[in-house]
Amino acid sequence: METPALLLHLFGRGITVSPLPDGNLLVKPAARLTDTDRDAIRAHKPALVDLLQRRSPTTAPGALPAEIRALIGLDDAEIERIGRYIEQARRHGFGLDDAEALADRLLLRDRLGADVRMCIECRHLERSGRCAAARSGRVVGAGRELQPVRAELHRCAGFAER
Ligand code: SF4
């Protein structure tokens, strides 16, 4: 993986990388890093430092350099949203690859302005996979033991933002 692609891959999962004055890198949140990420960061460290130090002085620490954002057509708000979507999917047991794919679909949804949601975005979805709103009779037509398809885009009157 090329260095810009590595940086994008990390940013897409909500991981920020910042150069430190001593030539090291600050990577946050470290808990989100896989062993593969750590190996890749180690292998690309000099190139990452160089790339990140070239960012505009007005760019916030840890932010993706403007030229890379432009390259992939993501703005800061979308980068933040991708990280949040991946986190929501991971919280409900999806592996990293699946979570990234779901985040892509949700970003596309946002760009199209479609009024549809996934249950993984809803605060009524429990870690067990059951819907708390259905259990209390708030999802019309659904049984009390509803275990909805978690990653299907749909309209639901019971949906509530986390
Ligand atoms: S209320 Fe609707 S959107 Fe929310 S978890 Fe239940 S079925 Fe899914």
Q: Based on the domain organization, do 63 and 79 belong to the same domain?
A: no
CA gap 162, 81 in Å, rounded = 13
Q: Which of 109, 127, 131, 146 to mutate to test the pocket of ligand 1 (most atoms within 8 A of CB)?
A: 131
Q: What is the pLDDT of residue 58?
A: 44
Same domain, 124 and 100: yes
* Residue 151 Cβ contacting ligand 1 at under 6 Å: no
- 23 vs 90, more confident: 90
Is residue 52 located within the same domain as residue 80? no
Beta strands in the chain (DSSP E): 16-19, 25-28
Higher pLDDT, 156 or 65: 156
pLDDT of residue 61: 47
Give dist(CA 132, CA 12) in Å, integer. 30
Half-sphere exposure in the Cβ direction for 75 (13 Å, CA): 3
134 lines ligand 1 (CB under 6 A): yes
Q: What was the pLDDT predicted at 130?
A: 96
Judgement on whether residues 51 and 32 belong to the same structural domain of the protein: yes
Q: For residue 45, what pLDDT is reported?
A: 92
Residue 158: closest CA among 135, 149, 145: 135
Who has greater pLDDT, 110 or 75? 110
Q: Does 67 or 77 have the greater pLDDT score?
A: 77
* Strand partners of residue 133: none
Token pair listed for 66: 């403007």
Query: In this structure, are 63 and 82 located in the same domain?
Result: no
Cα(115) to centroid(ligand 1), Å:
14
Q: Cα(123) to centroid of ligand 1, in Å?
A: 8
- Given 39, 59, 74, which residue is the final one in a domain? 74
| Across 17-26, 48-57, 61-70, 117-126, least confident range | 61-70
The angle subtended at Cα 79 by Cα 39 and Cα 76, nearest 5°, is 125
Same domain? 94 vs 70:
no
Ranges 9-18, 38-47, 98-107, most confident: 38-47
Q: Is the alpha carbon torsion for 127, 130, 136, 141 positive or negative? A: positive
Same domain, 95 and 59: no
Nearest to 59 by CA among 81, 84, 88, 79: 79
pLDDT bucket at 63, cuts 50 / 70 / 90? low
Residue 115 and residue 131 in one domain: yes
